[in-house]
Structure 1
Amino acid sequence: MNEVYDVTIIGGGPSGLYSAFYSGLRNLKTKLIESQSVLGGKVNLYPDKILWDVGGLTPITGKKFLSNCITQGLTFHPTVCLNTEISQITNTAGIFDIRASNGDHHYSKTVILAYGSGIITPNKLDIDGVERFERTNLHYIPNSLHAFRNKQVFLSGGGNTAIEQANELLSIAKRVTLGYRGNELRAHEHSVDAFRKNGGTLLLETQIHSFRGNHLGEIEAVSLSVAGEARTITADAVIVNHGFASKQAIGFDEALGLRFTEHHFIEGSPDSTLDCSGIFAAGDAISYTGKVNLLVGAFQDAVNAVNSVKQYLNPAAEKQAMVSSHNEAFAEKNRQVSL
């Protein structure tokens, strides 16, 4: 049998990362499993957005915030498994068998579900051979809009996120062209007006047909139909913002007895406990009366989940960890920070 962990956290977003930090603080043998190739969860979708509502932090970009979360989450060196999608969880003789879609099995005494609203993937273009440009200058989730400085950008999409990206690019890129398949954008009217007023080019009833690549494997032009007429636009980069597809992150054995809301969130309690003994939840995955659907709420859920795990494994344990300012777990780390 594979190694058995005290707790396995499924989901590497802010709630999962803080759960990993806090479980390390509570001396729990911890594994963190994430379905994507990177940690950070949904915050990866808005790296350049400014966050104002996280306690104790002055305005911070999503990218910097995630960097801090990841550094903090790995403080006590949990085992981390990326690119690992969980297909089923069952309980055998008090040990949870967490099965991955690749056939691997992960074993744990407890589980914290921190997978947010499920596995989210961008809706991609249905064009033959388009995948080769994903390695160069076709983007679905840009790491940073500043990478498009002084470039000619073609952006496809018509929702609020697309028009927000387009407006931000206007002060960065050389030229921004926004194409949408409909005859009217779905985004807020004031955002659309701002895009037009500040020099953006808007093309409605637009369909992408193909890309022309160069010898470097990069897109250099986009072939379109605009209101039925063929058109070619030069581009240094293409961003596609056609929304996201979401699916339930895990298949659960019915014997576990978990209850779900109509929106597929798990029904639980404010202390992050669920109907299934040994499984807990944090962040967007859990729903309960008084739930705070903000990042600060995700951190509170994580603390409650880990404390519940600790007492589940050892009923005599303290209900919560000692505060960090007086905790011996940080003694050596504090000396390193002060150097």
Structure 2
Amino acid sequence: MSECSERTTEERLARDGRVDSATETFVAHRNLLFTVAYEMLGSAADAEDVLQETWLRWADVDLGTVREQRAYLVRITTRQALIRLRTLRRRKESYVGPWLPEPLLTAPDVAEDVELADSVSMAMLLVLETLAPTERAVFVLREVFDISYEEIAEAVDKTPSAVRQIAHRARAHVAARRPRAVVSPDETRDALTAFQRAIETGDLQRLLDMIAPDIVLLTDGGGVVQAALAPVIGADRVADVLGRIDTQMVLQPAQVNGYPALVLRRGGEIDTVMAVRIDDGLITGLYAVRNPEKLSRIDRETAVSR
């Protein structure tokens, strides 16, 4: 939509007194809508674009015809996210090296909502990447936000019966790939503290004791900065990579995507954000985001909610 069209819409809404009501409702649900879009896309920048599209469409709606405003906004957001998700999939096909979700600095209280924290964790977002677009939308809306099959059906243009079948398939798919048990933030924090100390001291044996034999390290540089172009698999290989971290790097704990993580800084600038996956007391996955385009939000807290 052109700037002129947007201005015309805003002027018209202002004249009939609807801007305040529309804006108030949108702002009240903004964090929810952002979380829906982010969980579907794994990109905060694209989630923000989806919210912009959602607002433009919401501003043109006759509010008097809307029975449930929250559901209506979620429907618009879901449809816009599905459109963008298909575009993102084409973009990822030409992405250099492993693709990881954009990390978000989240408030400590997100960790208190175990289901929300799990749903935005790096590990879960990577599992969601393996779903088809519609399956991902249905899973997120049903399992994370507990939206009814009827409302989801309207959002994805399917029948409620079809949505139930899609939800069943998506649940089975995710269950086979998600961490074997939900690890509490306290457990993750303790493991991360020991992990940080092992890296800083160069204690190779301690590192090997903490990581699983089949650990997988993914590094996302996007072809912009140096990063492994394929997954690094196996305890010895991963420990070797970690042992080469620049000693000038400062490792700082942070709350990222609902869980404790490490932010690596060089000369005060963010170089890498590293999240972990823990299964049965061992670190089984390391996710190191280095692409500068994905690190722009990590210095400011992003609100997510259900």
Same fold (TM over 0.5): no
Alignment TM-score, normalising by the size of structure 2: 0.25
Structure number with the higher helix fraction is 2
Alignment TM-score, normalising by the size of structure 1: 0.23
Structure number with the higher strand fraction is 1
| More contact order relative to length (CA 8 Å, sep ≥ 6) | 2
Bigger Cα Rg: 1
